[in-house]
Amino acid sequence: MLQSQLFSKTTKNLPEGETAKNAQLLIKAGFINKSSAGVYSFLPLGLRVLNKINQIIREEMNAIGGEELLLPSLVQRKYWEKSGRWDVDIIYKTGAVINQRVLRGDFEYGLGWTHEEVVGDIARHFIQSYKDLPKAVYQIQTKFRAEARAQAGLLRGREFLMKDLYSFHANTEDLNSYYQLAIGAYKKIFKRLGLGAIVTEAGGGAFTKEYTHEFQVLNPAGEDVIYYCRQCDFSQNKEIYNASAHKNCNGEIKSESAIEVGNVFKLGTKFSEAFNAQYLDKNGNKNLVIMGSYGIGPTRVMGTIVEQYNDEKGIIWPESVAPFKVHLIELGDSPAVKKAASGLYQTIGQKLDMEVLYDERSASAGEKLNDADLFGIPWRIVISEKTLAAKKIEVKKRSEKTPQLITQTQLAKLLK
């Protein structure tokens, strides 16, 4: 992609009151735009990152048998009433109730903040027998919540993206083994995303009396506090922390701020009961379907990655989610530089089949290099009179300090 063609430009101007580092960097770099508190537009550069995050999540969900679907955001009042979440949760959680009375009829909708109701109702139609179980479906969808304090950029949106997976089982043992499988998939996802997430016990909130498991990334920007052991895998959210539950070892417990990037729940029969989702077992007896639900916030993940990977100059994307792999920069307007740089652009893009952003703008070296640091693309390549004279290419990783001069053959090897 030619940088001169990008829809967005870098900017020094931040919207008033934007204090979150992730939002500040992403806005400056032209990845997102603030629409209102907790509501952001994803510009083309930002969407490239978000799509990569979603793709990683999809691959790992598909790998544990999840089938992707898409549920509606507008969820009629009757659904929430069945599960008892209209007055308690919908009004409080989303605040937003769309009242269609003015249009026609007297339909009231809640904007979906999570979709156990909708999916529980669908399950009733397709799950009749033990032979139809287990099943797992997921979606990546926009959610709405009336977050009181939406000052953490992408970490706490009033509108945000969630991947929600729902699983259906004939018995608790099957739910338990799928739950472990999902935890394994989540570990893979966060590893691929470059996030060291700690599996943390937490309360069940609106869903369950059992503990749930949160995936927590240690970071000062986090709004959660976790108590975790430095030696074993003990970790509990502050809300339920009990020192005497730490029995595995004598390791020291630390408490730190963390960002909850994922959360898995054993729902049991709460929603299948509300929606009468039953199946016939081998003996012809009716039983309630047992459910699990598993969430990840891709937009929060994007904000978390920025909080984890940045320096005073800008973002430092992990390769797995970077908008481009290579940032090719030509310095100076001489025809020789232009020719060499555009040739290399073709080579890297086509022969090496890598995503390249090519800065062919006529701007100062300072401006181009500053923009490159702000963007945070993993590999920076510079072509200038100086590199041409040396018959070399200048390469620098965004995460490293010093550039190196290498040949084109060495470059191909390095990038692979």
32, 217, 289, 296: which one binds ligand ATP (CB under 6 A): 296
**Quick check: 94 binds Mg ion (CB under 5 A)?**
no
Residues 6+ apart with CB under 8 A from 287: 170, 278, 279, 280, 281
Q: Which residue lies nearer to Mg ion by CB, 263 or 384?
A: 263
Instruction: Sort strands 253-268 and 290-296 into parallel, antiparallel or unpaired.
Output: antiparallel
**Quick check: 48 binds ligand ATP (CB under 6 A)?**
no
In the complex, minimum distance from the CB of residue 229 to ligand ATP, in angstroms, rounded to a whole number? 22
In the complex, minimum distance from the CB of residue 263 to Mg ion, in angstroms, rounded to a whole number? 3
* Residue in the structure block whose two tokens are 């989303």: 94
**Quick check: 200 binds Mg ion (CB under 5 A)?**
no
The dihedrals phi and psi of 33, each to the nearest 5 degrees, come to -135, 135
**Quick check: 200 binds ligand ATP (CB under 6 A)?**
no
**Quick check: 293 binds Mg ion (CB under 5 A)?**
no
| Of 12, 34, 13, 8, residue with least CA distance to 23 | 34
* Residue in the structure block whose two tokens are 């020192």: 243
Residues 6+ apart with CB under 8 A from 242: 236
**Quick check: 222 binds ligand ATP (CB under 6 A)?**
no
**Quick check: 112 binds ligand ATP (CB under 6 A)?**
no
The DSSP secondary structure of 64-100, one letter per residue, reads: TT-EE----SEEEHHHHHHHT-IIIIIIIII--EEEG
In the complex, minimum distance from the CB of residue 295 to ligand ATP, in angstroms, rounded to a whole number? 3
**Quick check: 330 binds ligand ATP (CB under 6 A)?**
no
Name the binder of 323 from Mg ion, ligand ATP, none, CB < 5-8 A by kind.
none
The neighbouring-strand residues paired with 400 are none
Name the binder of 48 from Mg ion, ligand ATP, none, CB < 5-8 A by kind.
none
Cis, bond preceding 335 (omega within 30 deg of 0)? no
- Strand ranges inside 353-392, DSSP E: 356-359, 379-383
**Quick check: 167 binds Mg ion (CB under 5 A)?**
no
Residues 6+ apart with CB under 8 A from 103: none
Q: Which residue lies nearer to ligand ATP by CB, 279 or 294?
A: 294
The neighbouring-strand residues paired with 359 are 329
Name the binder of 34 from Mg ion, ligand ATP, none, CB < 5-8 A by kind.
none
**Quick check: 263 binds Mg ion (CB under 5 A)?**
yes
The neighbouring-strand residues paired with 164 are 139, 295
CA distance 215 to 256: 14
Count the site residues for ligand ATP by CB under 6 A.
16
Name the binder of 213 from ligand ATP, Mg ion, none, CB < 5-8 A by kind.
none
Name the binder of 309 from ligand ATP, Mg ion, none, CB < 5-8 A by kind.
none
Q: Are 378 and 399 a contacting pair, CB within 8 Å?
A: yes
Residues 241-270 that bind ligand ATP (CB under 6 A): 260-263
**Quick check: 237 binds Mg ion (CB under 5 A)?**
no
| Of 121, 123, 163, residue with least CA distance to 143 | 163
In the complex, minimum distance from the CB of residue 315 to ligand ATP, in angstroms, rounded to a whole number? 19
**Quick check: 162 binds ligand ATP (CB under 6 A)?**
yes
Residues that bind ligand ATP (CB under 6 A): 114, 145, 147, 156-157, 160, 162, 260-263, 295-297, 299-300
Residues that bind Mg ion (CB under 5 A): 263
